[in-house]
């Protein structure tokens, strides 16, 4: 059988494949991930698979249970609400501080990200490109805020946010809203209005939270 994953950067590639499978619900929430089956499908040994599973557990995407195996975590309504409430407050502050310090080069980077999320993600490949560009947009702002404590706090939130973030993008109408909201945020940042930039970012995350709670059956 032809290998699905080449030998180069094996650990990262196995991680990406498993993560994509979880996001696209090839593994349902609560389902066990069978290492032997994955090894046969991908044509790699179980060692890089186990390494990838440990990485996914650190990101709160799966749970490794001794003597039972790896299981995709379910996302309760309370968990989704709490994570996005904290994200709203922290990322609003990130955006306000970044707006005060941002330079032309960073503005250009943000614009390039938004160009990549314009197409609606209607295929698996487009979905992952969209998600990566979205994450990059927020990461650029986090770097630009130049507040190390805030960056550390957001790193903790982002660990919990991984699977929530990747699943909200496929909710009905969510991708189009995200595009429009991001362009609105960037417009205010370019205008140098730090307070309005914070408000726009908080409204964006509030919108994500509302969609996630409305479609919680697809988030669990």
How many C-beta atoms surround the C-beta of residue 46 within 10 A? 12
The pLDDT > 90 percentage for the chain reads 51
Q: Is the pLDDT of residue 6 over 80?
A: no
What local confidence, expressed as pLDDT, does residue 45 receive?
87
Q: Which two tokens stand for residue 196?
A: 């309005």
Q: Is the pLDDT of residue 125 over 70?
A: no
What local confidence, expressed as pLDDT, does residue 50 receive?
92
Give residue 33's pLDDT band: very low, low, confident or very high (50, 70, 90). Answer: very high
Q: What confidence tens digit (pLDDT) does each residue in 154-210 have?
A: 988 887 787 788 778 878 888 889 999 999 999 999 999 999 999 999 999 999 999
Q: Is the pLDDT of residue 109 over 70?
A: yes
**Non-local CB neighbours of 130 within 8 Å, separated by 6+ positions:** 116, 117, 119, 121, 169, 175
> Cα–Cα distance between 102 and 95 in angstroms, integer?
10
Q: Which two tokens stand for residue 84?
A: 């996005």
**Non-local CB neighbours of 186 within 8 Å, separated by 6+ positions:** 107, 110, 111, 114
Average pLDDT over residues 77-105: 96
**Non-local CB neighbours of 46 within 8 Å, separated by 6+ positions:** 35, 36, 39
Give residue 89's pLDDT band: very low, low, confident or very high (50, 70, 90). Answer: very high
Structural domains of the chain, ranges and CATH numbers in brackets: 10-72 (1.10.10.10), 77-218 (1.20.120.530)
Average pLDDT over residues 27-33: 88
């Amino acid at each position: 059988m032809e290998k699905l994953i080449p030998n180069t950067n094996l650990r990262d590639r196995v991680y990406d494949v498993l993560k994509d499978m979880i996001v696209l619900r090839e593994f349902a929430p609560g389902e066990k991930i069978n290492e032997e089956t994955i090894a046969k499908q991908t044509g790699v040994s179980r060692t890089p698979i186990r390494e990838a599973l440990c990485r996914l557990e650190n990101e709160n995407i799966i749970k490794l249970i001794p003597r039972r195996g790896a299981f995709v975590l379910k996302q309760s309504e309370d968990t989704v609400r709490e994570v996005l409430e904290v994200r709203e407050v922290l990322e609003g502050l990130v955006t306000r501080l970044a707006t005060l310090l941002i330079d032309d080069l960073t503005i250009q980077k943000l614009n390039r990200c938004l160009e990549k999320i314009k197409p609606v993600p209607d295929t698996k490949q487009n979905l992952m490109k969209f998600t990566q560009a979205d994450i990059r947009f927020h990461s650029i702002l986090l770097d630009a805020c130049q507040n190390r404590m805030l960056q550390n706090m957001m790193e903790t939130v982002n660990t919990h946010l991984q699977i929530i973030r990747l699943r909200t993008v496929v909710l009905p109408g969510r991708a189009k809203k995200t595009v429009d909201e991001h362009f609105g945020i960037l417009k205010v940042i370019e205008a140098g209005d730090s307070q309005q930039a914070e408000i726009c970012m908080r409204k964006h995350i509030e919108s994500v939270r509302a969609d996630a709670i409305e479609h919680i059956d697809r988030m669990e």
